[in-house]
């Protein structure tokens, strides 16, 4: 496998600003396990993973990395890493199993223990309220294409905030609503596995509405100063050429991939070119008066998840496509260079491009890289070591890109490496490993990879080594 080359002369001793947040991240369904314990009921991912043919090898998150029972061990790993922050998600069906009614105290107790142990270890808890695990009962009632789901989410946000309050340093409403809306309802490769362009657009709008309603609920329940955020997987979109038709293809993907969330949340408006692009799909009548004002409730920071760029040209895409309104006008073209085990191109410049774009488009909004990392075919050698030089090179290049963006004036406050642990990688099951800590899923043994030791050194230095 090709190792991404880095140039020590260009990245030697790159120091990050004082107070920069060095973190790592996980998600509830990917690591917790304990799928039917202490009152937790099925989420859409429990149902989806049990549907034949949906997840590789028929894998489920029933046990995952067994974090529910190994909480203290995993916090100790974070302490060894030296991270200042830990980004985790709260499982909605563990806290409010049916998506309605009172919270389950045993579920909340797990997150009380987690946040208390993090704080005792000197690690800031960063909680995400939604990382794709919608209670199945709400999906049975229509899921995210139904407006009511947004109101149920706001109620859940209030319950979580009242219970955990000051224990959590940063509250993030949603993680990657694009994936949840368009991979879940558009082309069906994620839970709940539906394939409807109009449902994907309805879901995207209701995610924006849910975010705004949740911000209101959090502000009402939390003490000051409470940091409230949103995490988006924005696409670094590149046109294949400067031909007008290729440029228009990039515009279409930017509209449905980025501005469908950025414009409502930060500007209180719908992208009118997106409305025109999707006129054959919907008239957007599901957007009611006041929705965009609600969606644009101010946040304290924006989280950016980035793995690789997207290159497009004029053409057409496979059906069903997650790119509502663009599928008959856009084809995706390969990005040159090395690739990860996910077959994703390695291109750190895309991260720099996104951060500088947001510097210009959202002045005054602090930015945090809330996910960045890579899957490679890691294994423990006979001595028990896990050598992953490709991941070290990937992280080195992307952190250098973050540093360059900061030098160029982007207000980037932190970086969260994805992921702490090898875990359940959604439709790929356990076949892809993103962790800097290797997990033997048969024994649950945790082993630091070389990348974990490298990241610990970066944190200790406050910057990149030569």
pLDDT the model gives residue 103: 97
**CA dihedral sign of residues 109, 111, 116, 121:** positive
pLDDT at 371 over 90: yes
Q: What share of the chain is helix, strand, coil (3-state, %, to 5)?
A: 40, 15, 45
- Binned at pLDDT 50, 70 and 90, residue 452 comes out as very high
CB within 8 A of 45, min separation 6: which ones?
29, 61, 132, 133, 191, 426
> Which one from 139, 371, 390, 425 is the annotated catalytic residue?
371
> Which one from 176, 327, 353, 390 is the annotated catalytic residue?
176
Residues 176-197 as b/e (b if ≥16 CB within 10 A, e otherwise) read bbbbbbbbbbbbbbbbbbbbbb
Q: Is 176 a catalytic residue?
A: yes
Instruction: Tally the C-alpha atoms within 13 A of residue 237's C-alpha that lie toward its C-beta.
Output: 23
Q: Is 327 a catalytic residue?
A: no
**Segment 152-176 mean pLDDT:** 97
**Segment 375-396 mean pLDDT:** 97
Average pLDDT, the chain: 96
Closest CA to 415 of 273, 309, 301: 301
pLDDT at 4 over 80: no
Do β-strands 463-464 and 310-314 pair in parallel, antiparallel, or remain unpaired? unpaired
- Binned at pLDDT 50, 70 and 90, residue 438 comes out as very high
**What is the rounded distance in angstroms from the CA atom of residue 40 to the CA atom of residue 64?**
15
pLDDT the model gives residue 206: 99
Query: In Å, how far are 72, 150, 215, 300, 408 from 155, measured between CA atoms?
Result: 30, 9, 11, 21, 40
pLDDT digits (tens, 9 = 90+) for 234-264: 999 999 999 999 999 999 999 999 999 999 9
The 3-class secondary structure across 199-227, one letter per residue, is: HHHHHHHHHHHHHHHHHHHHHHHCCCCCE
pLDDT at 39 over 80: yes
pLDDT the model gives residue 38: 98
pLDDT at 265 over 90: yes
What phi, psi does 308 have (nearest 5°)?
Answer: -160, 160
pLDDT at 456 over 50: yes
- Binned at pLDDT 50, 70 and 90, residue 11 comes out as very low
Do residues 202 and 145 touch, judged by C-beta distance below 8 A?
yes
Cβ-count burial of 431 within 10 angstroms (0-12 exposed, 13-18 middle, 19+ buried)? middle
- Binned at pLDDT 50, 70 and 90, residue 9 comes out as very low
**Segment 68-85 mean pLDDT:** 98
Instruction: Tally the C-alpha atoms within 13 A of residue 239's C-alpha that lie toward its C-beta.
Output: 14
**Segment 66-83 mean pLDDT:** 98
Chain CA centroid to CA 400, Å: 21
pLDDT the model gives residue 263: 98
pLDDT at 1 over 70: no
**What is the rounded distance in angstroms from the CA atom of residue 385 to the CA atom of residue 364?**
44
pLDDT the model gives residue 7: 40
pLDDT at 354 over 80: yes
pLDDT digits (tens, 9 = 90+) for 321-347: 999 999 999 999 999 999 999 999 999
**Segment 177-184 mean pLDDT:** 98
Do residues 372 and 351 touch, judged by C-beta distance below 8 A?
yes
pLDDT digits (tens, 9 = 90+) for 277-300: 999 999 999 999 999 999 999 999
**What is the rounded distance in angstroms from the CA atom of residue 450 to the CA atom of residue 111?**
30
pLDDT the model gives residue 223: 85
Instruction: Tally the C-alpha atoms within 13 A of residue 170's C-alpha that lie toward its C-beta.
Output: 27
What phi, psi does 369 have (nearest 5°)?
Answer: -80, 105
CB within 8 A of 304, min separation 6: which ones?
231, 232, 233, 234, 351, 354, 355, 358, 367, 368, 369, 370
**Segment 291-314 mean pLDDT:** 98
pLDDT at 10 over 70: no
- Binned at pLDDT 50, 70 and 90, residue 319 comes out as confident
pLDDT the model gives residue 181: 99
This model's pTM is above 0.75 = yes
pLDDT the model gives residue 254: 98
pLDDT at 27 over 60: yes
Cis peptide before 84 (omega within 30 of 0): no
């Amino acid at each position: 496998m090709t190792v991404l080359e880095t140039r020590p002369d260009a990245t030697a001793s790159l120091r990050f600003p004082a107070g920069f947040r060095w973190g790592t991240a996980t998600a509830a369904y990917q690591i917790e396990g304990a799928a039917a314990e202490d009152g937790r009921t099925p989420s859409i991912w429990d149902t989806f993973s049990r549907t034949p043919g949906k997840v590789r090898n028929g894998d489920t998150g029933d046990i995952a990395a067994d974090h529910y029972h190994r909480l203290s061990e995993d916090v100790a790993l974070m302490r060894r890493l030296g991270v200042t922050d830990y980004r985790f998600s709260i499982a909605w069906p563990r806290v409010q199993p049916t998506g309605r009614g009172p919270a389950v105290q045993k579920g909340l107790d797990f997150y009380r223990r987690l946040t208390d142990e993090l704080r005792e270890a000197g690690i800031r808890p960063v909680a995400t309220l939604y990382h794709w695990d919608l209670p199945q009962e709400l999906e049975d009632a229509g899921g995210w294409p139904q407006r009511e789901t947004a109101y149920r989410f706001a109620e859940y946000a209030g319950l979580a905030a009242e219970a955990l309050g000051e224990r959590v340093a940063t509250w993030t409403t949603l993680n990657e609503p694009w994936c949840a809306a368009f991979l879940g309802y558009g082309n069906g490769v994620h839970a709940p596995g539906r394939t409807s362009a109009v449902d994907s657009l309805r879901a995207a709008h209701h995610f924006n509405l849910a975010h705004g309603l949740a911000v209101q609920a959090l502000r009402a329940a939390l003490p000051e100063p409470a940091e409230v955020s949103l995490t988006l997987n924005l696409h670094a979109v590149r046109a294949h050429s400067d031909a007008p038709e290729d440029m228009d293809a990039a515009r279409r993907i930017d509209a449905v991939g980025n501005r469908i969330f950025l414009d409502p949340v930060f500007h209180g408006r719908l992208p009118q070119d997106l409305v025109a692009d999707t006129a054959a799909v919907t008239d957007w009548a599901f957007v009611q008066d006041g929705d965009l004002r609600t969606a644009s409730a101010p946040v304290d920071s924006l989280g950016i998840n980035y793995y690789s760029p997207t290159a497009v040209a004029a053409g057409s895409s496979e059906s069903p496509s997650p790119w509502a309104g663009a599928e008959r006008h856009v084809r995706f073209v390969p990005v040159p260079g090395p690739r990860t085990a996910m077959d994703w191109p390695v291109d750190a410049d895309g991260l720099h491009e996104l951060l500088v774009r947001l510097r210009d488009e959202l002045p005054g909004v602090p930015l945090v890289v809330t996910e960045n990392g890579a899957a490679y075919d890691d294994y423990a050698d006979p001595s028990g070591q896990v050598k992953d030089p490709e991941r070290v090179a990937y992280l080195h290049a992307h952190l250098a890109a973050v540093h360059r963006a900061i030098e160029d004036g982007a207000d980037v406050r932190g970086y969260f490496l994805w992921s702490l642990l090898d875990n359940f990688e959604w439709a790929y099951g356990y076949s892809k490993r993103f962790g800097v800590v290797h997990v033997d899923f048969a024994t649950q043994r945790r082993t630091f990879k070389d990348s974990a030791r490298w990241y610990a050194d970066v944190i200790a230095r406050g910057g990149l080594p030569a």
